[in-house]
Amino acid sequence: MIHELEWGCNEKFFAVRGLIRIVKNFMNQNVIIGVIVVLVVLVGGYFIVSTMNAAPAATQTQTATTTSTQITTTQNPVTTTAGTPSAVTDTSAEPTNSTVVVTGSVTPNGAPTTYWYEFGQSSTLGSKTSSQTIGSGFSPIPSPGYITGLAANTLYYFRLDAQNSFGTVQGTTYSFSTNNNASVPGNPPTTSTNAATVLTSTSANLNGHVDPRSSQTTFWFEYGSNADFGQITTLQSGGSGAASIAVSAPITGLNPQTTYYFRIDAQNQYGTVNGTTQSFTTSGPAAVAAPVVTTQVASPVATTTATIRGTVNPYGAQTNYWFEYSTDSQFSSPLLHSTSQRSVGAGKGTTSVSANIPALQPNTTYYVRIVAQNGAGTVRGDTVSLQTK
């Protein structure tokens, strides 16, 4: 091996020395260029042959990484947990020489909420209107304010504030200037809440009366399963008449046999008013719930028979029950036995049930549990053991 390496090195030495002689003999520039080309070809060929004869080297692979930016549009989820309200002040205002109508919107966020406007001749404000109740829904509700006693041709600043049991928030502060226009007197609307009608297990019509008192008026109903309400109907126009009118709104998606509370609210540019609170109870069976079962101790237990027992509460839905028993505590299929299914009705109370099981093995431990099923699901009771004689 050493001799082969020496021979290879000598061979390369003589080849290079021969080329040098050629260069010395031919000084012509073109000849020199040609020699250089020959030299490059020979050396390159040598390295190619050497590489082909050499052991393969490890291959390193580079993978280009492509970075992509995905823009995801996320819709705001519907909020169902009560929290701090939000208040948005509108930039618009309708001033006269001594009054102004300002507007905004408040989202109560599930707790009874009040709102008011702060105002003053500087950005520090300093005065405020009386508070008005806006309800406890989860939707933005228009929240107008009527400010009086202002000076003519004067710059004022104003801001909408809101408060519930979770905290107080302030909207953005804006400004307006009063002018020389005479103010137009007006009054907030009046309302009365009337009894709900067309009651079913899941729906009702809410009724009331609204008197706009000659100003464009909007009304809506608040409702919920407690006196804090939590939901509102769509805002509707009550017109701008000068007499009380009957209004109503249908609601759906209610739970059967449930008491709901509701009231009518109305507002115009002069204020927001709330009707009295009324209640109603939906009809029909209660909402379907899975049954509740309890496996009881078997009694009596004989050599080859036993009476197994339990209780079932159907929770208002038609329910069937049966017993499962086995010599395997895991109730595996080859050893699992079941009694025939029986109806326990659709009541709301707990009923005691039992079944006789024959053809048992003497002096054997069995495992028993009760099973019940209705439209809301299937449930199994705890496992109880028995020992035949």
**What b-and-e string marks burial along 258-281, b requiring 16 or more CB atoms within 10 Å of the CB?**
bebbbbbbbbbbbbbbbbeebebe
Q: Which of the listed CATH numbers 2.40.70.10, 3.30.470.20, 2.60.40.10, 3.40.50.2300 matches domain 292-387? A: 2.60.40.10
**Domain 86-177, CATH:** 2.60.40.10
Q: How does the average pLDDT of the chain come out, rounded?
A: 83
| C-alpha distances in Å from residue 379, one per residue of 46, 208, 293, 313, 328 | 84, 46, 7, 11, 20
Token pair of 63, please? Answer: 């993978």
Q: How far apart are CA 310 and CA 13, in angstroms?
A: 104
Query: Domain limits of the chain?
Result: 86-177, 190-281, 292-387
Strands (E), 108-235: 113-120, 127-128, 132-135, 141-142, 145-147, 155-164, 167-170, 174-177, 190-197, 204-211, 217-224, 231-232
pTM: 0.55
Single-letter residue type at 310: G
Q: What is the pLDDT of residue 48?
A: 39
In this structure, the number of other CB atoms found within 10 A of the CB of residue 382 comes to 12
Token pair of 374, please? Answer: 């209705």
Q: How far apart are CA 112 and CA 162, in angstroms?
A: 11
Q: What is the pLDDT of residue 21?
A: 54
Q: How far apart are CA 159 and CA 74, in angstroms?
A: 30
Q: What is the pLDDT of residue 365?
A: 96
pLDDT in tens, 304-350: 999 999 999 998 789 999 999 999 999 998 889 999 999 999 887 89
pLDDT in tens, 349-376: 899 999 999 999 999 999 999 999 998 8
Single-letter residue type at 230: G
The parts of the chain modelled with pLDDT lower than 50 are: 1-16, 19-20, 22-79
Q: What is the pLDDT of residue 17?
A: 52
Coil, helix or strand at residue 4: helix
Give me the CATH topology for the region 190-281.
Immunoglobulin-like (2.60.40)
- Residue whose tokens read 């709330």: 274
The reply to whether 86-177 and 292-387 are identical in fold is: yes
